[in-house]
Amino acid sequence: MYEEDADYISNLRLQKLLHYAQGCFLAVMGSPLFSDDIVAWKHGPVVESVYNQYCSNGSYGIVFEDEFDPLPFSEEENRLLIQVYDLFGQYSAWKLRDMTRKEAPWLSTPPNEVIKISLIEDYFNREYVE
């Protein structure tokens, strides 16, 4: 079942999708998708540099006017990103927020601290791969 605001990506929703993409990459590929830290903020995991880039959008959808270039990713990586979006992209920002705040990486990290990459990897290996 698709959520009401699942047809656009707000900054809040983007943050949670980045968290899930990072976790899935760690579990499936054995390496991170990106090198930025994920921080345990009040509303769940956040990539601060990306948050800062889009914070002026507030809760509105982010308009992406450039052409997406899939070349930085292999065919296998692109397939995984599509699978992550198919699985988690159906949910609203607030549903994703609630989901991430019930998961071990966020729960076991003090507020405003970096979520250890090993916590993310272990959790996704346990919950989504095994």
Q: What was the pLDDT predicted at 67?
A: 74
Give pLDDT tens digits for 40-50.
999 999 999 99
- More confident: 2 or 83: 83
Instruction: Establish if 105 belongs to a structural domain.
Output: yes
Instruction: Establish if 2 belongs to a structural domain.
Output: no
Domain count of the fold of the chain: 1
Give pLDDT tens digits for 6-28.
457 899 999 999 999 999 999 99
Could you tell me if 93 and 10 are in contact, meaning their C-beta atoms sit under 8 angstroms apart? yes
What is this structure's pTM? Answer: 0.89
Residue with tokens 């990103």: 81
- More confident: 30 or 67: 30
Q: What was the pLDDT predicted at 68?
A: 67
Instruction: Establish if 66 belongs to a structural domain.
Output: no
Whether the pLDDT of residue 79 is over 80: the answer is yes
What is the Cα–Cα distance from 126 to 39, expressed in whole angstroms? Answer: 21
Instruction: Establish if 6 belongs to a structural domain.
Output: no
| CA trace torsion 5, 10, 14, 20 (10° rounding) | -20
Q: What was the pLDDT predicted at 130?
A: 64
Whether the pLDDT of residue 5 is over 60: the answer is no
Whether the pLDDT of residue 114 is over 90: the answer is yes
Alpha helices in the chain (DSSP H): 11-29, 48-54, 75-88, 93-100, 104-107, 117-124
Q: What percent of the chain has pLDDT over 90?
A: 74
Q: What was the pLDDT predicted at 3?
A: 44
3-class secondary-structure state, position 82: helix
Instruction: Establish if 119 belongs to a structural domain.
Output: yes
Provide the domain limits for residue 91. 11-56+72-129
